Amino acid sequence: LESMLQQMNAKVLEELQIDPLQPARIADLGCGMATVARYAAEHYPLSHLVAISIVEKHVAMAKELNKASGLQNQITVCRDNFENLHLSGNNFTHAYAIESACHAASPNKQKFITELARILKPGGRFCIADGFLKSNQPPSGMFKWLYQKMTGYWAVPGFADINAFRSELEAAGLTNICVKEISYRIAPSVAYVPLVCLKFFVKELWKNKSLRMKKERWHNVYAPLLGMLVGLFRTKFGYYLITGEK
């Protein structure tokens, strides 16, 4: 599973078309604990990354991990809201968001897209990897139940409709937009989800002699399992890689 995640990181960075022989300023919009930023810093040593997270705990942990990796001078970690960034405009050569745009509050992520377009330099490239709905029709039936449970457990306001999302990118002045569905490409890593959850349960039983956990930890177990089931509704939901430039 770890190697598959690394492959996704590599694919996103490949789509950004970063020249390893030229300085680059890269924004990680929704960095978590900056795992991808560290991967980028190691593979593009002339780059400087600004990693953004709204979660204070993630920012603190990312800084510690960056320091432990000796990358604290190459990666700046900031607590900020990617729908209202305190960053200068026309300031980044590249930007990416991996499974973070879905956390934007606006329905089709308009505010996130506006900020993405604002901070990129003219000619700057972006790449977004995330799940999207395939229709603007409200979810219904079993899919609706699974979808609502998944978004609730993951604390996601909702996934954007892929066609509306593309229209918002175009409205923000972004060009050369390419939308690729890669659901089948991530299927092997999704297949590992039940095994990962089983290992988690065994570890909890071994460590604590029980499965008594905080509600949030249970949610972190349920959400990937529900995500796997949601992904089976191929006509309603998909995983996409979206690229373009300013």
Residue 160 binned pLDDT confidence (cut-offs 50, 70, 90) = very high
First to last CA, the chain: 34
pLDDT tens sequence across 35-45: 999 999 999 99
User: For the CA atoms of the chain, what is the radius of gyration?
Assistant: 18
Query: Could you read off the pLDDT of 105-121 as tens digits, one per residue?
Result: 988 999 999 999 999 99
The amino acid present at 7, given as its one-letter code, is: Q
Q: Within a 10 A sphere around the Cβ of 123, how many other Cβ atoms?
A: 9
Q: How many CB atoms lie within 10 A of CB 211?
A: 12
Q: Tell me the pLDDT tens digit for each residue of 68-96.
A: 999 999 999 999 999 999 999 999 999 99
Dihedral pair phi/psi, residue 151, rounded to 5° = -65, -35
Is beta strand 237-245 parallel, antiparallel or unpaired with respect to 175-181?
antiparallel
44: helix, strand or coil: coil
